[in-house]
Amino acid sequence: MESQSVGIIGSIIYLVVIIFYIYCMWKLYEKAGRPGWESIVPIYGAYILVTKIARLEWWYLLLFFVPLVNIYAIFKVYIALAKNFGKSTMYGIALIFLSFILFPMLALGDAEFIPNKSLELEDNLVK
């Protein structure tokens, strides 16, 4: 009987964490000027994240399905995502390893979506 209650409590905690993460992604999409419901549609949500929020080409989504190349793609997408919210490259790298902490900070914090911020930074470096 005791092991059943541990399983039920663990399931409830897991459900609460998943609902919180969905809420954070919803808010992140809304900060980016997109409807929040787009974050919960599996492939479409990833497409919007890559093309509209991270402002990268659509084929980066395809790279997620290629072994080893997907590592490069996730770094590229998360770094672009961080830069479009006014954060540094290191924040983008940290998003990969600490996403359970940093995505809620990005979504619920004071970060503002600045479209094409990464392009502006690259233009400043060229000049």
Mean pLDDT computed over 84-92: 94
Using one digit for the tens of pLDDT, what is the confidence trace for 43-58? 999 999 999 999 999 9
pLDDT at 125 over 50: no
pTM: 0.83
pLDDT at position 126, please?
Answer: 47
Using one digit for the tens of pLDDT, what is the confidence trace for 18-35? 999 999 999 999 999 999
CB 88 within 8 A of CB 82: yes
Nearest partner of 26 among 45, 16, 39, judged by Cα: 39
Share of the chain above pLDDT 70, in %: 89
CB 52 within 8 A of CB 34: yes
Residue type, 14: Y
